[in-house]
Amino acid sequence: MTPIRQVTVVGAGLMGHGIALDFAVAGYEVNLHDLDEPRLRQAMGRLQATLQMLAAAGRLPPEDIGAVSARIHPGTQLPAAAAPADLVIESVFEDLALKRAVFGELDRLCPPHTILASNTSSFLPTQLAAATRRPDKVIVAHYFNPPYLLPLVEVVKGEATSEETASTVCALLAQAGRKPVLLKREAPGFIANRLQAALIREALAIVDRGIADPRDVDTVLRYGFGRRLAVAGVFEVLDLAGLDLALAVAANLLPDLESSVQVPTGLRQMVDRGELGVKAGRGFYPWTPESAAARSRAIAQALLQMTQLSDPPTPGRRG
């Protein structure tokens, strides 16, 4: 397998520009492609703001900001972005037809050795590989927002993905300071979204049944077991508590938990009313642009503090 030296990210939105930044901080040259020139300019502005934030938090030497920025090459021409790529990470809108079209085009434009990865959170790699003539080099690399603060990347092989492709991508991600988890087989939602969907379904059911309101549910998560799960996984917690206790709780509680496969009624009603969250000014909470920005800053600062406690600074990983 050809060593990964040049990375291309297709899609300069919320996730794409963050993935590009993460590789650039790790020392890689990155082509950042988007068809929309204003979106590219906005992405580069976000990148500069994020680099300043990382420097202020001690995660990046201030003198490295210029060098990191210089490793990111924005452009609207896909052939130019694809031609030198050893790895492409697609991060366009979550639409299967669009992603398949992008993969088909990348397959035509990229060198034969290029690995084609997707940051999709829901589509299976086998679905994307069908649009290419290189299914052995198609894989999912699912990042989490923001990519430069959350180290997890779920790596998912398709039916035809080679072991060499999987091992190359996992090694690259580890070299870049990420925490890759390779699934044993592809499945909708991978690991994280399956777990998150189960939690969200029960949280919505608690509200719909009148057991508690959204603020109380969030308080329980933020000040209770959510903090514990940040430092110990669910199976570690079960072992520490004792599996006999876990069995007794499961036998008593599981029959009363929400198990419907239907979309929760309360959530559908809110969407029908136009209560879409921050973008609409109201969801489970009322929002203003100022309150949403303040909450986003608070989340970023908390993640930075957690990163400082658990990981060494990120610059210069590549050597």
Domain contains 40: yes
Domain contains 80: yes
Annotated active-site residue in 31, 91, 119, 121:
121
C-alpha separations of 290 from 10, 199, 202, 297 in Å: 31, 28, 30, 11
Task: At 307, list the tokens.
Answer: 């990163």
**How many domains does the chain contain in total?**
1
Q: Is the pLDDT of residue 191 over 90?
A: yes
Question: Quick one: pLDDT at residue 319?
Answer: 40
Q: Is 252 a catalytic residue?
A: no
Alpha-carbon gap, residue 300 to 310, rounded angstroms? 15
Q: Is 121 a catalytic residue?
A: yes
Backbone angles phi, psi at 82, to 5 degrees: -85, -30
Domain contains 102: yes
Domain contains 105: yes
Domain contains 41: yes
Domain contains 39: yes
Percent of the chain that is helix, strand, coil (3-state, to 5): 55, 15, 35
Whole-number mean pLDDT of the chain? 94
Domain contains 129: yes
Annotated active-site residue in 118, 142, 162, 186:
142
Backbone angles phi, psi at 124, to 5 degrees: -80, 145
With cut-offs at 50, 70 and 90, classify the pLDDT of residue 308: low
With cut-offs at 50, 70 and 90, classify the pLDDT of residue 314: very low
Domain contains 267: no
Using omega within 30 degrees of 0 as the cis cutoff, is the peptide bond preceding 62 cis?
Answer: no
For the stretch 21-48, pLDDT in tens is 999 999 999 999 999 999 999 999 999 9
Q: Is 236 a catalytic residue?
A: no
Question: Quick one: pLDDT at residue 309?
Answer: 55
Q: Are the C-beta atoms of 157 and 166 separated by less than 8 Å?
A: yes
Q: Is 142 a catalytic residue?
A: yes
Residue 111: CATH number of its domain:
3.40.50.720
Q: Is the pLDDT of residue 49 over 80?
A: yes
Q: What angle do helix axes 265-272 and 192-208 make, rounded to 10 degrees? A: 80
Annotated active-site residue in 17, 31, 90, 154:
154
Q: Which domain holds residue 100?
A: 6-182
Backbone angles phi, psi at 73, to 5 degrees: -120, 100
With cut-offs at 50, 70 and 90, classify the pLDDT of residue 307: confident
Which residue, chain included where needed, has tokens 């996984």? 233
pTM assigned to the model = 0.92
Annotated active-site residue in 193, 202, 258, 275:
193
